C-alpha cells in the first residue's frame, strides 16, 4: 500500500515544479505601515482588466504608505524598506467595509521582471464545491530582516487548503496544521508542522487550479488557473483564513473606477 504522505508529497512535488512558478508570477510583496507606525509585510495580486493595470490587495496592506516591491529589488534605509523600482501609482482606493482595495499603476515590463497579470477571464465566482485551492503570499516567518546590515530576504510561498464555509462576502478556508515536505536525509516525503501563523499572506491570491490526475510519474495536468479572491485575515482560535471573493473586488472596482 502506498504511504499517504509519500503520495501527497508526489502530487505536491509535481504541482510545485510545474505550476507554482506560474502562480508566483502573479503575486508581489507589499511593504506597508501599520497603525502603530511599524513596517509590515503583505502581498498583492497583479491584475489587468480593460487594459488597465492594478495591484489588488487587502485594504490594511495599502491604507498607509504601501510600497509594492517589483522584481524583488529593494534596500533598507533608516529601518524602512524602499523598493529600487518605484511603481508609478495612478490612484489608490479601498472598500469601506470589506478588507479589499487596489492600487492602479502604469504598465510594467512584465516579461523582463518575470511577472504576469491575472486577466479578467481568469476571475472565477463559481461556487466552490470540492477540491483544493492555493493561497500565494509572502509569509513573515520566511522573511529575514536585518536592520544593522540593511538587508532583508522576502520569500514567496503557498499553502493548499480546503473550503470550510462560503458566503457572498467571505470564503473561509482551513489553515493547515501539518504540511508535507521532502526530507533529504531519508530521501522521502513526510508530514511536519506548518508555520504557526500566516502573517504576510494578507492581500495575496487565492487560486483554484483545475487539473486532472493522470498517473504516478506526472500526476497533474493543468487546465486553468482561476483567481477566487483576496486573502485578508485569519482566525487563530479556529485556525482558518478568510478570503474576500473576487466578485466583491470586481464590484468595488466598478463602483470606484467605472470598469464593467
Q: What is the dihedral sign for C-alpha 145, 147, 148, 154?
A: positive
Q: Could you tell me the pLDDT band of residue 82, with boundaries at 50, 70 and 90?
A: confident
Query: Count of domains in the chain?
Result: 1
Provide the residue range defining the domain that includes 226.
Answer: 4-257
- Asked if residue 220 has pLDDT above 60, the reply is no
CB 43, CB 203: distance < 8 Å: yes
Residues 132 and 209: their CA atoms lie apart, in Å, by 8
Residue range 199-213, pLDDT digits in tens: 899 999 999 887 665
pLDDT at 164: 94
DSSP three-state, residue 121: helix
Residue 63 belongs to a domain with what CATH number?
Answer: 2.40.10.120
Q: Could you tell me the pLDDT band of residue 140, with boundaries at 50, 70 and 90?
A: confident
More confident of the two residues 221 and 237: 237
What stretches of the chain show up as alpha helix (H) in DSSP?
4-18, 20-24, 110-113, 246-257
- The grid cell for 32 is 506597508
Instruction: Give the torsion through C-alpha atoms of 87, 154, 57, 233, to 10 deg.
Output: -160
Residues 132 and 8: their CA atoms lie apart, in Å, by 12
What stretches of 87-225 show up as alpha helix (H) in DSSP?
110-113
Q: Could you tell me the pLDDT band of residue 1, with boundaries at 50, 70 and 90?
A: very low
Lowest mean pLDDT segment, chosen from 101-105, 118-122, 224-228: 224-228
DSSP 140: G
> Once rounded to an integer, what is the mean pLDDT over residues 93-102?
98
Amino acid at each position: 500500500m502506498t504511504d499517504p504522505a509519500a503520495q501527497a508529497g508526489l502530487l505536491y512535488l509535481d504541482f510545485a515544479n510545474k505550476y507554482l512558478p506560474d502562480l508566483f508570477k502573479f503575486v508581489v510583496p507589499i511593504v506597508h505601515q501599520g497603525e502603530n507606525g511599524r513596517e509590515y509585510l503583505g502581498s498583492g495580486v497583479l491584475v489587468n482588466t480593460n487594459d488597465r493595470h492594478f495591484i489588488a490587495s487587502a485594504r490594511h496592506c495599502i491604507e498607509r504608505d504601501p510600497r509594492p516591491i517589483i522584481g524583488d529589488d529593494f534596500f533598507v534605509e533608516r529601518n524602512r524598506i524602499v523598493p529600487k523600482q518605484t511603481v508609478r501609482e495612478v490612484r489608490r482606493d479601498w472598500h469601506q467595509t470589506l478588507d479589499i482595495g487596489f492600487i492602479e499603476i502604469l504598465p510594467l515590463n512584465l516579461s523582463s521582471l518575470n511577472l504576469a497579470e491575472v486577466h479578467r477571464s481568469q476571475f472565477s465566482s463559481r461556487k466552490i464545491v470540492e477540491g483544493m485551492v492555493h493561497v500565494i503570499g509572502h509569509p513573515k516567518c520566511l522573511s529575514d530582516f536585518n536592520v544593522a546590515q540593511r538587508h532583508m530576504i522576502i520569500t514567496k510561498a503557498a499553502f493548499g487548503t480546503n473550503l470550510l464555509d462560503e458566503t457572498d462576502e467571505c470564503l473561509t478556508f482551513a489553515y493547515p496544521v501539518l504540511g508535507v515536505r521532502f526530507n533529504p536525509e531519508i530521501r522521502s516525503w513526510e508530514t511536519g508542522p506548518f508555520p504557526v501563523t500566516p502573517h504576510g499572506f494578507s492581500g495575496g491570491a487565492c487560486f483554484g487550479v483545475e487539473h486532472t490526475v493522470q498517473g504516478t510519474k506526472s500526476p497533474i495536468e493543468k487546465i486553468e488557473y482561476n483567481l477566487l479572491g483576496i486573502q485578508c485575515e485569519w482566525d487563530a482560535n479556529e485556525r482558518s483564513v478568510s478570503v474576500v471573493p473576487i466578485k466583491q473586488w470586481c464590484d468595488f472596482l466598478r463602483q470606484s473606477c467605472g470598469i464593467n
